[in-house]
Amino acid sequence: MHETTSLLIEVGALLFLLGLLGRLSRRIGLSPIPLYLLAGLVFGHGGVFEFKASEEFFAVGAEIGVILLLVMLGLEYSAGELVGNLRAAAPAGLIDGALNALPGAAFALLLGWDWVAAVVLGGITWVSSSGVIAKVLADLGRLGNRETPVVLSVLVIEDLAMAFYLPLVTAVLAGTGLIAGGIALGVAVATVLVVLVVAIRYGRVISNVMSARDPEALLLGVLGLTLLVAGVAAKLQVSAAVGAFLVGIAISGPVAHHATELLTPLRDLFAAVFFLFFGLVTDPRDIPPVLLPALALAVITMGTKTLTGYLAARRVGIAEPGRWRAGLALVPRGEFSIVIAGLAVAAGSVEPRLAALATAYVLITVVTGPMLARVPDLGWFKGWLRRRAAAQRAKPVPVAD
C-alpha cells in the first residue's frame, strides 16, 4: 500500500510539473523537450530529488511514448506518398547521411570510444527532430513556402532510414556480431517492403476493419494493433518503433485522419513521459565533463545540417533566402536522437558517457535550433544576402577566346 501511495504521489507530481513546463515552453516560444529533459535530470539518479517508486512506471510509459511517436509519424503518410518522396529525395538523403552521420561517428572515435559507440553517435547526430521542426515552421508561418517541401522530404528520408537503422543498431548493441546484424537488417528491409506492398494494395481492407464513426472502438483498435505489432516486431529483433511506424503507414483514408486526432493527446502525454524518463536515468553529474565535447559536436553538426538543407534547396532551384531557411530549419535534433541514445543506455554495452553527451547535445541543438531558424528573417541577414547577390552580379562574365 505504501509503495502504491508513493507511486501515485510521484507520478502525479511529475505529470503536473510536465504540464506547467509545457505551458512555459509555449510562452517563451521554445520546444518543451529540453524542459522535460531538465526535469528528469532534477528528479532522477543523482538529481536534487530522487524519485524511485515511479521509475518502473515511467520506463513502461517511455516505451509506449516511442511507439506512439512512430505510429503518428506513419499516419502522416500514405504508402504511395512515402514511395514517391523516397524516389524524389533520395539524393538529398544520401548527402544528409554523409554530412551528418559521419561527423558523429568520427567524433566518437576521436574521444577514444569503440566502433559500437561510433555507430550510435552517428545516428544521434544524423536525424533532425520532425516534431520540433514542424512546430517551428508553423510558428514562423512557413508551411506554404517553396522550400518547405524540401525540408519535409529530408525529414521523410531520415524517418525511412530509421526503419533500417534501428534494427541494425539494436543487433549491434546486443553484441550479436556483424552476421546477425546483417540478418536483422535483411529482416527489417523485407518487413518494410512487405508492409509497403500490403499497404499500397490492401490498405483499404485494413482501414475498413476499423470504423472512423466510432471513436472509442477506433482508438482501442488502432492502439491495440500498434502495440501488438510493435511487440511482435521487438520479438523478431526488428524494433518496436519500426513496427509502430509500419502500422501507421498501413492505415489510410478517413480512419487515419480520425486516428490521428484521437491519438494526438496520448502521443503528447507519453512522448513527454519518454523525454522525462531519459532525463531520470541520466546522472546530471556526468554532464559537465562532456559539456564542451557536446558543444563542439553541436557546432560542427549544426553547420553540416545547414549545408544539407542549403544544397537540397539549391538542387530544386530555390532562391538564396529559401536555401538558408531550409538549412537552418533542419538544425534541431530531438526525439529520434533520444530514442537511439535510449536504446544504447538500455543495452548497457556502450560508453557510459554517451547518455550524458546525447542529453547535452540534444539540449543545445533543440534550444538554439528555433533561434537560428529565425535568422533569415532578420534585417541584417537580408542585407547581407542583398550585398552578396549584388557582388555576384558585378563579377565579370568570362568570355571564351
pLDDT digits (tens, 9 = 90+) for 274-302: 878 877 877 788 888 889 999 999 999 99
Q: Give CA–CA dist 322/15, Å, rounded.
A: 40
Euclidean distance between CA atoms 250 and 215, whole angstroms: 19
pLDDT band at residue 196 under the 50/70/90 scheme: low
Which domains are delineated in the chain?
A: 58-377 (1.20.1530.20)
* 12 vs 45, residue with greater confidence: 12
Per-residue pLDDT at 273 = 86
Grid coordinates of 228? 501488438
Q: For the beta carbon of residue 87, count every other beta carbon within 10 angstroms.
A: 7
Per-residue pLDDT for 348 more than 70?
Answer: yes
Model pLDDT, residue 293? 93
Tell me which of 124 and 131 has the higher pLDDT.
124
* Amino acid 393: pLDDT: 73
pLDDT of residue 305: 96
Contact 250, 201 (CB under 8 A): no
State the helix-helix crossing angle for 320-329 and 148-173, rounded to 10 degrees.
Answer: 30
State which of 173-187, 317-331, 357-371 shows the largest mean pLDDT.
317-331
Task: Count Cα neighbours of 18 within 13 Å in the Cβ-side half-sphere.
Answer: 23
Cα gap 74→84, rounded to integer Å: 15
The arithmetic mean of pLDDT across residues 377-389, rounded, is 85
Q: Which pLDDT band holds residue 195 (cuts at 50, 70, 90)?
A: low
State the chain's mean pLDDT as an integer: 81
For residues 311 and 303, what is the distance between their CA atoms, to the nearest angstrom? 12
DSSP states along 49-107: S---TTHHHHHHHHHHHHHHHHHHHHHTS-HHHHHHHHHHHHHHHHHHHHHHHHHHHHH
* Integer Cα distance of 44 and 55 in angstroms: 9
CB contact burial 159-182 (16+ within 10 A = b; e otherwise): bbbbbbbbbbbbbbbeeeeeeebe
Question: Does 166 have pLDDT greater than 80?
Answer: no
User: What's the pLDDT at 25?
Assistant: 83
pLDDT band at 272 (very low <50, low <70, confident <90, very high): confident
Separation between Cα atoms, residue 376 and residue 328, nearest integer Å: 8
pLDDT value for 299 = 96
Query: 189-193, 258-262, 351-355: which range is least confident on average?
Result: 189-193
pLDDT band of residue 239 (cuts 50, 70, 90) is low
Do 352 and 283 meet the contact criterion of CB atoms below 8 Å apart? no
- Nearest by Cα to 251 from 262, 266, 239: 262
Q: Look at residue 96 and tell me whether its pLDDT is greater than 60.
A: yes
pLDDT above 90: residue 386: no
pLDDT at 255: 82
- pLDDT band for position 328 (50/70/90)? very high
Is residue 83 pLDDT above 80, yes or no? no
Q: Report pLDDT for 181.
A: 63
Looking at residue 178, its pLDDT comes to 61
- For the segment 192-220, the average pLDDT, to the nearest whole number, is 75
- The whole-model pTM stands at 0.74
Q: Kindly tell me if the per-residue pLDDT of 78 is higher than 80.
A: no
Higher pLDDT, 142 or 176: 142
Mean local confidence (pLDDT), 216-226: 88
Instruction: Count CA atoms closer than 13 A to 318's CA, side-chain side.
Output: 23
